């Protein structure tokens, strides 16, 4: 059913636009564990169409019926549910896909719409997930730990992508060198008679400046 609906939305983007909003509302009421890859494809396309119709998002100038353009209002219909999928789904591949959608959304947001940016929201979710609940059962504890791990992963990927795509002059060191990477041992050989070999213990995020 989800596969058919996703295919229909892709092939006939102007089909009965009045039914998209209630369809998106109904889809976002489903438990996250029930959303499959096809279900998420359907969600993405409904998310796009509903928010373009409400003028919160501009379509891509390329004419692609399912590609996001500039986002004018970050209060997007269905966005909270995509956050929930990214942080809570037991399907790792689906969680990564939802995370990618979130990173794309916040990267495309207009400058004046970035106050509630991805970093702030992810940190809030991380703080909530970092507090154990003594009354929670084993299943709730698994979800809590999963949310914390996904928040950290989302933050790392978003910051890394943002700094990779930034091409302007830098006034400060990129975030990547602010945390330790994989341990590394460098052996430096010199032609000097007094010191032939120097061993340096470092990590993969270190630079000469750091």
CA distance 101 to 41: 11
pTM: 0.73
Give me the pLDDT at residue 12, please.
55
Mean pLDDT of 39-43: 90
Q: Rounded to an integer, what distance in angstroms lies between the CA atom of residue 191 and that of residue 189?
A: 7
List the helix and strand counts (H, then E) for the chain. Answer: 7, 4
Which residues does 25 contact at the CB level (< 8 Å), separation at least 6? none
How many Å apart are CA 125 and CA 144, to the nearest integer? 10
pLDDT grade for 42, boundaries at 50, 70 and 90: confident
pLDDT, position 40? 93
% of the chain with per-residue pLDDT over 90:
25
> 114-169, pLDDT tens digit by residue?
555 888 899 999 999 888 777 778 888 888 889 999 999 998 888 888 777 767 77
Could you give phi then psi for residue 131, rounded to 5 degrees?
-100, 110
- The pLDDT assigned to 178 comes to 57
- CA nearest 58: which of 14, 207, 49? 49
CA gap 74, 107 in Å, rounded = 11
pLDDT in tens, 50-74: 888 888 888 865 445 456 778 888 8
Rounded CA separation 208/163 (Å): 19
Residue 192 is given by DSSP the state: -
Average pLDDT, the chain: 79
* Residues 185 and 197: beta-carbon distance below 8 Å: no
């Amino acid at each position: 059913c989800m596969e058919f609906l996703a295919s229909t939305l892709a092939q006939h983007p102007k089909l009965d636009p009045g039914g998209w909003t209630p369809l998106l509302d109904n889809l976002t009421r489903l438990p996250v564990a029930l959303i499959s890859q096809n279900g998420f494809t359907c969600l993405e396309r409904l998310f796009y169409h509903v928010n373009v119709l409400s003028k919160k998002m501009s379509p891509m100038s390329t004419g692609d019926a399912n590609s996001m353009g500039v986002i004018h209002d970050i209060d997007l219909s269905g966005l909270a549910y995509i956050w929930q999928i990214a942080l809570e789904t037991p399907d790792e591949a689906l969680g990564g896909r939802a995370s990618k959608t979130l990173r794309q959304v916040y990267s495309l947001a207009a400058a004046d719409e970035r106050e509630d940016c991805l970093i702030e929201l992810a940190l809030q979710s991380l703080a909530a997930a970092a507090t154990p609940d003594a009354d929670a059962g084993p299943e709730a504890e698994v979800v809590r730990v999963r949310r914390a791990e996904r928040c950290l992963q989302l933050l790392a990927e978003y910051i890394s992508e943002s700094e990779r795509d930034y091409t302007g002059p830098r006034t400060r060191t990129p975030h990547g060198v602010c945390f330790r990477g994989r341990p590394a041992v460098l052996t430096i050989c010199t032609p000097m008679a007094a010191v032939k070999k120097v061993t340096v213990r470092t990590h993969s995020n270190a630079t000469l400046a750091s």
